[in-house]
Amino acid sequence: MGVNEQQIGLLTSAFILFYAVGMLIWGPISDRFGRKRIMLITMAVLTSLTFAIALNDHFLSVLIMRAFQGFFAAAFPPVALAWMSENLQIRNKLRGIALMSSAFLLSGIIGQWFGEATIIDGLFWPMLILGICYGLSFLAISLLKDRHTISQHTGVLTIISSVLPTLFSHALRKAYAASFFILASLVSFYIYLTQEPAFATSLATINLDPAGLRLMAIPCMLMPLLVTRFITKYGPERTIAYALIAAGISLFGQYLFALIPIWFVVVFHLIFVAAISTAIPGVIGLISQRSLPEVRGLAVSLYTFILFFGVSLGNSLSLQYGGEIMVPVLSFTLTGLGLWIYGMTAKKSISVSLLALFSLVMYSVSPVKANGLSKVEVMMMNVDSYKQRLALSELDYQILFTIDGLMDKQPITLSRYQPQTSDSIRYGYAQVSFVLDTEGRLKGFARMNPQLAVGQQVSKENAETIARDFLAEYAADLLPVMDVQWVAPHDEVVLDTDGKKITLTGMKVKSRNRDNGLYFWVIVAPDSSVMVFERDINWDFIRAGRQTEKWLHDSWLKKQKW
């Protein structure tokens, strides 16, 4: 089945939504009906659904099956972890938990590689391979023994009534608090890494890019395999405390990349990922140790759901408010949480974190930065410099206005130039517009010039080459994470001086940022110049398309009554 961009978004959203629901349900069900039985049933259904998706060409059917696939796939993590805690000796239990923790951390990277390698013209090959893997997993589960004692008196109402007491249990509250923040901080930092071009510039001084930094950290995700003895000796609670304190300090160390040697930042990143990886088996071990046998499946289900919810919320908040805010807040949250788990009272740990956060705020509002430029100077970067470098054929256009606004809730400045013949905004007519963020970074520009309608279109290959050369100069942070979606002709309409519609056809190179899922594109005019550039566009397939404001589009500006 061939699928387009929007359909892939729907298929992914359906899986994620039902996966989250399944996380809450399967653990408690296994408390009632047994771990092995639930794993066998769900794995059998998952295998069948996966093969069915591979062989189905009808999108609606695949969408429905994809939702159920997520629901049944969610059974394995909580039920398998509960099974380990009840059926393995302490040493093997920790090894099993460590293996699952490392697999969970690596799944995001391996899954992305797997998708890029197998999704060619549809879902047949990835689903066929996954179906075979699920089938083999079913056979492996069938060989397991299950020592879980099934309570025949545990009904649905009993399970439901146990959710809140388990969630707010004094014995488990530290584990759940840690699980909410550990992966949320990892996601937030990687979003910050893609949002901050200066970080990529600093890494480039040692021939490294953000993608390379992530690859360097992969071995650190195997830390769960190395800390089993530490957990055995010091206990899971102390392990979590040390890991969170180390993660908080190293996360803040990365935030100070402009003030310290870049190699120190790389070391901080490796420590950060290793600490996060260490905390996960500690949390699982603590839940296994302190949860009651009759609600252990529920306890683990709540853990996986909270972990997943933390990742989702961390991703959303970082995109909404920016990693520049979320990273330092999370760094001190992790440190304070670690101190609390270690044994410091909640009041003292919060005070320490707030004091450190106050120091950070004082640094952030300071007018002097490490590079010698004040924030005011950066914000006052002259838009005319971009005009000189980019819009060579519109140098005689005069500034009409400069206005401040928000783009995905982040402050931006729109500057609009029009021919000298006009002194008021003329929607749809010739104009050049630039959108810059508060750091002076180019977020987008558009050249709506009727003269660009002349000439033969450049080839797709040349358009992509021109786009990459443009990005290398004006958005270098996007190149390492550039995933070209398609290259095709794209039309824009502009009015000439007589009000006649002129169609500007350019070759559009649309790409997706592999790290944060945001889109960006470059449209190349027939004369090989760049006609339009936009970046960091949020495209929500569930809510029917683009969610980011269209500051470069006259039709949108007109509706806003600018």
Least confident of 376-380, 458-462, 541-545: 376-380
Tell me how far CA of residue 427 lies from CA of 266, 302, 424, 552, in angstroms.
49, 53, 10, 11
Are the beta carbons of 313 and 189 closer than 8 angstroms?
A: no
- Give the Cα-Cα-Cα angle 407, 410, 413 (nearest 5 degrees): 65
Q: Is the pLDDT of residue 151 over 90?
A: no
What pLDDT, on the 0 to 100 scale, is given for residue 306?
92
Least confident of 113-127, 247-261, 405-419: 113-127
Q: Is the pLDDT of residue 311 over 50?
A: yes
What pLDDT, on the 0 to 100 scale, is given for residue 534?
95
Least confident of 28-37, 115-124, 222-231, 489-498: 115-124
What is the mean pLDDT of the segment spanning 16-45? 90
How confident is residue 523, by pLDDT bands cut at 50, 70 and 90?
very high
How confident is residue 418, by pLDDT bands cut at 50, 70 and 90?
confident
Q: Is the pLDDT of residue 356 over 60?
A: no
CA separation for the pair 45, 48 (Å, rounded): 5
How confident is residue 366, by pLDDT bands cut at 50, 70 and 90?
very low
Q: Is the pLDDT of residue 507 over 90?
A: yes
How confident is residue 10, by pLDDT bands cut at 50, 70 and 90?
confident
What is the mean pLDDT of the segment spanning 115-131? 82
Q: Is the pLDDT of residue 36 over 70?
A: yes
Least confident of 49-63, 220-234, 535-549: 535-549
What pLDDT, on the 0 to 100 scale, is given for residue 319?
75
What is the mean pLDDT of the segment spanning 211-229? 88
Q: Is the pLDDT of residue 175 over 90?
A: yes
What is the mean pLDDT of the segment spanning 264-282? 94
The mean of the pLDDT values for the chain is 83
Q: Is the pLDDT of residue 360 over 70?
A: no
The residues, ordered by sequence, that sit 6+ positions from 35 with a Cβ below 8 Å of its Cβ are 79, 80, 82, 83, 86, 87, 146, 148, 297
Q: Is the pLDDT of residue 145 over 90?
A: no
Percent over 70 (pLDDT), the chain: 84
What is the mean pLDDT of the segment spanning 118-131? 84
Q: Is the pLDDT of residue 357 over 60?
A: no
What pLDDT, on the 0 to 100 scale, is given for residue 406?
84
Q: Is the pLDDT of residue 382 over 50?
A: no
What pLDDT, on the 0 to 100 scale, is given for residue 179?
93
CA separation for the pair 335, 185 (Å, rounded): 12
CA separation for the pair 146, 83 (Å, rounded): 7
Q: What tens digit of pLDDT does each residue of 75-102 get?
A: 999 999 889 888 888 778 888 888 888 8
For strands 482-495 and 442-448, give the pairing.
unpaired
CB atoms within 10 A of CB 507: 25
CA separation for the pair 481, 461 (Å, rounded): 19
Q: What tens digit of pLDDT does each residue of 392-402 get?
A: 566 778 878 88
What pLDDT, on the 0 to 100 scale, is given for residue 158?
67
Least confident of 67-71, 289-293, 416-420, 542-546: 542-546
What pLDDT, on the 0 to 100 scale, is given for residue 370?
40
Q: Is the pLDDT of residue 116 over 90?
A: no
Q: Is the pLDDT of residue 544 over 70?
A: no
What pLDDT, on the 0 to 100 scale, is given for residue 363?
47
Q: Is the pLDDT of residue 114 over 90?
A: no
